[in-house]
Amino acid sequence: MEAALNKMGVLGVGMLAAGAIGSRFIFIVDGGERKLVMDSIRGLQQKVYGEGFHFIIPGLQRTIPFEIRTMSKL
C-alpha cells in the first residue's frame, strides 16, 4: 500500500512540474484583443493571432497585445 502511495505522489509531482513548464509554451488571446509575436531572431512576425490558445517559444518569442474593441456612439 505504501509503495502505491509513493508512486502516486511521484506521479502527482511529475504532472505538476510538466504543467508548470508546459504552460510557458502557451499564450491565450481573449475576446476583443489580438496579439502579434515578436521573435528575437526574425523580428516582428506577420501573423496576427486571434482568440484562442497558441504556442510560443519562451525566451525567444514574446507577445504584443492590442485591443480591437471599438466604442459605438449612442
Exposed, middle or buried by CB within 10 Å (0-12, 13-18, 19+), for 35?
Answer: buried
pLDDT per residue as tens digits for the range 30-74: 988 999 999 999 999 999 999 999 999 988 999 999 988 776 666
Write down the pLDDT at residue 20.
87
CA dihedral for 44, 29, 24, 56, sign (positive or negative): negative
Write down the pLDDT at residue 22.
83
Write down the pLDDT at residue 71.
65
pTM for the structure as a whole = 0.69
